[in-house]
Every structure is written in structure tokens, then in C-alpha cells.
Amino acid sequence: MDRKEFLASIGMGAVSVAVFNCIGCSKSPTSGPLIPAPTNVDFTLDLTSSANTSLNTNGNYIYANGIIVARTTAGEYIAVSQTCRHENTNVIYRANNHQFYCQRHGATYSETGVSAGIETNLPLTKYNTQLTGTNLRIFS
């Protein structure tokens, strides 16, 4: 095989990979049926518990009972369903951007769960939060 044939074969391999990846990112979920957001939610997190202490710092978040609970840079607690509505993967909280973000394909959601609408127009479900002492209640 000469250099021209070799480069042509590498080029076709790269095109194949690119097409496969594009097909894998359609507008509908690629990881099976959408995981439904939790309903009838009512639980309390003890912020002194080691599992929840990251919520004592602005900008941090945790996952609990299918929900991502975050503390904004302003110190407010927010909670939305943790699963991306496009890819069925967990979103993360990006405090400096004031948004929830899917690392798998880049979908973004506001702090109230509203989608940016590029990847999906389906919002994350928003839940209420109430802080009493060191107990944070998350409820529908």
C-alpha cells in the first residue's frame, strides 16, 4: 500500500466514526425509554450527615432519590430531577453558569429545570426546598 492509499483508508475510517457518532445523537433518547422524574417527593436531608455535607458549600450538589440537589453561588437550595431528558444520564450542576448540564452531549437546563431547547424541549422537574436548621426538605 502506498502513502496515498494509506491516507485514503484512514480518511474513510474517520468518516465512518464521525457518521456513527452523529447517528447516535438524535433528538430522541438513545438510552432507552425516558426515565420518569420522581413523583410524590417528600424527604429530608440532614446537612450534618457526611453524605450531605457538600451542600454546606455554595456551588456544590448531590444526588438523592433521583433528584439533584444543589446550592447556588448565592446560597439558595434548588432541586430538579437528575436525569437528562434527552440522554437518560445524570446531569451535573455548574454553579458559575447557573445551570444544570449533561456531560454526555451538552444539553443545558436553567436552575429551574427549563431546557435551552437545542437538544430537547423537555424540562427537568423542579422540586421545592425548605431549610429548617440543618434539615433540608425536598418536596413536590
Task: Give the model confidence (pLDDT) of 99-111 as tens digits.
Answer: 999 998 888 999 9
Does this model's pTM top 0.85?
no
For residues 100 and 42, give the distance between their C-alpha atoms in angstroms, rounded to a whole number. Answer: 22
For residues 97 and 121, give the distance between their C-alpha atoms in angstroms, rounded to a whole number. Answer: 19
**What is the chain's mean pLDDT, rounded?**
83
- 17 — pLDDT class (breaks 50, 70, 90): very low
- 86 — pLDDT class (breaks 50, 70, 90): confident
**Radius of gyration, CA atoms only, the chain:** 20
For residues 137 and 110, give the distance between their C-alpha atoms in angstroms, rounded to a whole number. Answer: 21
41-80 pLDDT, tens digit per residue, is 999 999 999 999 999 999 999 999 999 999 999 999 999 9
For residues 98 and 20, give the distance between their C-alpha atoms in angstroms, rounded to a whole number. Answer: 32
Would you say residue 22 has pLDDT above 90? no
- What is the fold, at CATH topology level, of the domain defined by 41-139? Rieske Iron-sulfur Protein (2.102.10)
Domain boundaries, the chain: 41-139
29-51 pLDDT, tens digit per residue, is 445 677 899 999 999 999 999 99
Question: How, if at all, do strands 67-71 and 77-81 pair?
Answer: antiparallel
